[in-house]
A and B are shown apart, each in its own frame.
Chain A
Amino acid sequence: MNYLRRYRPRRDQWASPHQRARVLAAERIDGFLGEDDAAWLDGHLAECPTCAAVAAEYAGQRAAFRELGARPPEPPRDLWARTAAAIEAEASRGVATADGAGGSSRGSAGRRRPARLPLGVMSGALVVAVVVGASLFARGVPVTPIQPPASATPSGTPRPTVAPQPTPIPIPAGAVAWIRQGDDGSFGLYVARIDEVCPGRDKAGCAPIAESESQPIANLDGPSAVVLSPTTDQLVLVDDPGDGTGGTVYVVPVPAAVDPGATPTPTTEPTPTPTLGPTATPTAPPTPTVGPSGSPGPTPTGSDLPSGSPQPSPDGSTAIASGVSLVGDTAAYAPDGQWFAFSAVPADGSHGPDIYLWHVGDAQARPVTSDHRSVFAQWLGGQLLGSRVVEADAAASPGGSASPSATPSATPSVNPSAPSDAPTDLTAVVFVVDPVTSIETVFLDVPLWRPTVDPSARWAVFWEGTIEADAAGTTWLPGIGRLVLADWSIGIPEPPIDPSAEPSAEPSPGSASASASASPRATGRATASPGASASRDPGGKPSESPDSANRPEQILEAGHIADWEARWDPTGTRLAVWIADEADPSIGRLSLYVVDPETGRFDQSDRLLRDQPALAGFALADGLLAWATPPGQDGEGSRIQVLAWSGDAVGSAETQPGTDPVVIAR
């Protein structure tokens, strides 16, 4: 998913006379057409048989409707009895005239939903792909291993066999999953198990990845993102009808095994972030007793407390948010699989992004920010890491001390829908939110925007440069500057401390192991102690620490960047960076860097993948990077591409081109 970048051309700008003719022909059916337009239309239809055929089809619709209307369905006989009883119940509650048109309505029908945001428009279906653990197979999604070279694919689309067959490289078994629309228009989850690839990047002569038969998913309009739970028993799906009313975020159970024939492959089961250490959320969270809990609704949700709301059905989905448009491609489950966080704006564009959090078992996701300027960056040590745009002087104001601040009021509540009114100097702050207590800790002296932190919490990719409001005026995009890999000065943040307690330099036992691999320096600053200064240079770089000046800061991209997404593999040695295309931010180019986790250095000239065209949304696992090529290249549809590595060996594979663009599930 890209940052709010889906466009639909305006309907009143005719791309061609044929388009105009079609619109007018449709309007004529409904009697909207003026004389001039009608005359033009008749003239055009007389010359254009294709448009005339379309117009005839429109006219045919009316006849079909007449036939349909001749068989009206019969209402059930007890409809009035039920309705009258419900009205009586309503009246007995005395609310008959208490609430007006906008009043809340009875029961579930009137349940307030999160604010709506205008969903941009995604025309056409897309595919969503995900790299999944091998354990998904045990749940019964039938998987066909990648075919050895020269064998026909079971999909019935044999590929011309090319003479010299490269010797496949065996790799630790991994899997890639994606969703795309089948020929019949329904969506399905496709899975491909990958345990060998062709050497290098040359896929010529290499058998294509054999996708599984699809696992059909009912009732999808147009999935735009898929994230698989670490426990692989459910996935989060964002579905968007594309009509501007916003997307709905569903949690969908992955069915238990339906195909015992699929052999589980217990060998490699990549746990999402193995280097993060303890992944469970703190079982004994600090009591959110005293004040700095200005965070929106510190509603402690015991992590072991299922919500009282009923789940729809054993195999059915839960709509945890609706009327929203996801922002960015960072939506993710916490490492323990108990929480899911995402950023979204309401579909009506009424305000900017906030971070939403959902706990497994809850009926709804809840916002954890309310400033409309926050986006989710990632999970870090069981806490939610967020990034927020703020006015520069507000962040630097004397009141904004560098100490952990749990007051969102530190963020000026300017109208985010008009961020471009004045050339306000914007900067950013990072903050962490404890999912259990909702306590937010702001790091005012770390003005990084949208950091992506490596698993050891020593390095981060972030933006250094200007931040601009997007076209809709509801969120922010990078302007001119550079995307860098540099020191992450926070380390793994500790859970918020009780402010009444003496600030301690000693890491808590829990965080000690969590940050075992982090440098002592990073750990020492994990709580942004009051001693740290909030000063920084005009460039917005953290400059409070002398050693940060010595820290290598390496440029990944520089100049004007439309958008980006960065992701680390679980080992912290591979970094995938996708840079959006200026003209069409739904596509971009993807690179894979090899990073030395000790020094945080990479070699620009020695990337495993270099600027490959890719749709927004890619998946990165240990030893596997998967992305979808934009359709239209060589006149083909979208393909899933896989780059795999094991030790020094690198190989690649790809699917046959599909007919639809693809979205990779993560």
Chain B
Amino acid sequence: MPSSDLGVLAALGVLGVRERSGGGAAMSAVWEHDAAARFVEDLFAKHHGEIYAYLVRMVRDPELAADFAQDAFVKAYRNYDTLEKPENARAWLYQIAHRVALDELRRRKIVRFLPWTGESRGTSPSAEHLAMDARLSGDLQRALARIPERQRAALLLAELHDLSGLELAQALGVSHVAARALLTRARESLRQALASERAADAEAERRRTTERSR
């Protein structure tokens, strides 16, 4: 670890101020001598909640999100050298998490036939998704799930994670102008998706009413 890195860590207040949250004696070699590890541990302490929340909202699967969060912090550790300005650490971490989510979403996305039920043409969501929906219910979640991933990311980061301007652009890995355009597109996509969700709700309600009245 070059000494300049130590300087950065000192400036961040990272050196020697954390408690070991889960390591144990076996880990001491890493946590004592590896500045990157200690830096990431600090990052984890400060940001793991919001990173996890972002990932859950991106992928709508708590297990997957936990995997991704873990992966993001490991990558932060691995690419610690690439963080140029410590004050950018948060956006930098979001950028890593964002890439993990997008890459893995694409890679892991399971396209498959669903059992044919002879009834609905709709998808039958998995148990996890149903559970998620129960917790994070509402049209917004479903509408978010329907818009393109990068648009979803832009909206989540801007609305829920308070990233704006250059931070948002960095997290999304695009230019400032592109981030702005993405966000604008996302709002329109979401508006249409929400309208469609509401129409579906209304239709379902109408059907229930019809059946009850029969």
A480 contacts the other chain (CB 8 A): no
Identify 16 new A-B residue pairs, CB closer than 8 A, beyond the known A218-B123, A322-B106: A11-B181, A58-B187, A58-B191, A73-B53, A73-B65, A75-B49, A80-B48, A86-B71, A97-B80, A97-B81, A100-B79, A101-B79, A182-B121, A182-B122, A216-B124, A218-B114
In the bound complex, do residue A317 and residue B112 qualify as a contact, i.e. CB atoms below 8 Å apart? yes
Contact A79 B140 (CB under 8 A): no
Cβ-defined partner of A243 (8 Å) among B56, B141, B148: B148
Inter-subunit contact A72/B53 (CB<8 Å): yes
On whether the beta carbons of A82 and B111 are closer than 8 Å, the reply is no
| Residue from A71, A140, A250 within 8 A of B111 (CB atoms) | A250
Residues from chain A with a CB closer than 8 A to the CB of B78 are 90, 95-96, 99, 103, 105-106
**CB-CB under 8 A for A252 and B111, given A58-B187, A216-B122, A218-B123:** yes
A57 at the interface (CB under 8 A from B): yes
B91 CB within 8 Å of chain A: no
Number of A-B pairs, beta carbon distance below 8 Å: 253
The answer to whether A103 and B111 have CB atoms under 8 Å apart is no
A-contacting residues, B90-136, CB 8 Å: 100, 102-104, 106-116, 118, 120-124, 135-136
Q: By the criterion CB–CB under 8 Å, are A220 and B111 in contact?
A: yes
A221 to B145, CA, bound (A): 10
Q: Does A27 contact B (CB under 8 A)?
A: yes
| Complexed CA–CA distance, A100 and B82 (Å) | 6
Contact B185 A11 (CB under 8 A): yes
Contacts of A298 in B (CB 8 A): none
Q: Tell whether A326 is near chain B: CB-to-CB under 8 Å.
A: no
> Which residue of A32, A73, A95, A253 contacts B56 across the interface (Cβ within 8 Å)?
A73
A residues near B, CB below 8 A? 11, 22-23, 26-27, 29-32, 54, 57-58, 61-62, 64-65, 67-69, 71-73, 75-76, 79-84, 86-88, 90-92, 95-97, 99-101, 103, 105-106, 108-109, 111, 113, 140-142, 182-186, 188-189, 213-221, 237, 239, 241-243, 245, 248, 250, 252-255, 258-259, 312-313, 315-317, 319, 322-323
Which residues between 162 and 202 of chain B lie within 8 Å of chain A, taking CB atoms? 164, 180-181, 183-185, 187-188, 190-191, 194-196, 200
Indicate if the CB atoms of B138 and A217 lie closer than 8 Å. no
Assess A248 versus B109: contact at CB under 8 Å? Given A68-B136, A69-B159. Answer: yes
Within 8 A of A (CB), among B65-83: 65-66, 69-71, 73-75, 77-82
Select the stretch in B6-14, B22-30, B205-213 that faces chain A: B22-30
B69 with A79: CB separation less than 8 A: yes
- Choose one: B23, B74, B159; the contact of A65 (CB below 8 Å): B159
Determine the residue in chain B with the shortest Cβ distance to A62: B159
Contacts of A83 in B (CB 8 A): 44, 48, 69-70, 73-74
Interface contact A90-B111, CB-CB below 8 Å? no
Collect the chain B residues with CB atoms within 8 Å of residue A87's CB: 30, 37, 40, 73-74, 77
Chain A residues in 8 Å Cβ range of B184: 11, 23, 26-27, 30, 32
**In the complex, A182 Cα to B36 Cα: how many Å?**
50
Which interface class (under 10, 10 to 19, 20 to 34, 35 or more) fits B?
A: 35 or more
CB <8 Å contact, A84 and B27: yes
Q: A242-B148, A255-B115, A258-B115 are in contact. Are A73 and B136 (CB under 8 A)?
A: yes
Docked CA distance A21–B134 (Å): 36
Contact of A248 among B52, B104, B106, B190 (CB under 8 A): B106
- For the complex, is B89 an interface residue (Cβ under 8 Å from A)? no
B123 engages A216 (CB within 8 Å): yes
CA of A188 to CA of B102, assembled, Å: 24
What would be 22 A-B contacts, judged by CB atoms less than 8 Å apart?
A: A31-B164, A58-B187, A61-B140, A61-B159, A65-B140, A69-B159, A73-B56, A73-B135, A75-B52, A79-B66, A79-B69, A86-B74, A87-B40, A91-B77, A96-B80, A100-B81, A108-B107, A111-B107, A213-B121, A215-B113, A250-B111, A319-B106
Q: Does B17 reach chain A (CB closer than 8 Å)?
A: no
B108 contacts across to A, CB distance below 8 A = 312
The interface residues of chain B lying within 8 Å CB-to-CB of A81 are: 22
Give B191's nearest chain A residue, CB to CB.
A57
Pick from B23, B62, B65: contact of A84, CB under 8 Å: B23
Contact of B110 among A68, A183, A242, A312 (CB under 8 A): A312
Cβ-defined contact, A185 with B196, below 8 A: yes
Q: Residues of B contacting A29 with CB < 8 Å?
A: 187
Q: Who on chain A is nearest to B187 by CB?
A: A26
Q: Contact check: which of B116, B121, B187 meets A258 at CB < 8 Å? A: B116
Interface: B158 (CB within 8 A): yes
Q: With CB as the reference atom, state the residue of chain A lying closest to B139.
A: A64
Check B3 for interface membership: any CB of A closer than 8 A: no
Complex contact A64–B158 (CB within 8 A) = no
| Contact A88-B106, Cβ < 8 Å, known A27-B180, A57-B191, A213-B121 | no
Contact with B113, one of A54, A109, A217, A313 (Cβ below 8 angstroms): A217
**Within the complex, which residue of A57, A79, A237, A253 is in contact with B70, where a contact is CB–CB below 8 Å?**
A79
A319 to B112, CA, bound (A): 11
Residues of A within 8 A of B69 (CB): 75, 79, 83
Check if B113 sits within 8 Å of A219, measured CB to CB: no
A11 to B185: give the CA distance in the assembly, Å.
9
Q: Do the beta carbons of A88 and B110 come within 8 Å of each other?
A: no
Please pick, from A69, A108, A218, A258, the residue contacting B160 in the complex, using a CB distance under 8 A.
Answer: A69
Q: Contacts A30-B164, A69-B159, A87-B37 hold; do A245 and B150 have CB atoms under 8 A apart?
A: yes
- A214 touching B121 in the complex, CB below 8 Å, given contacts A245-B150, A252-B113, A317-B110: yes
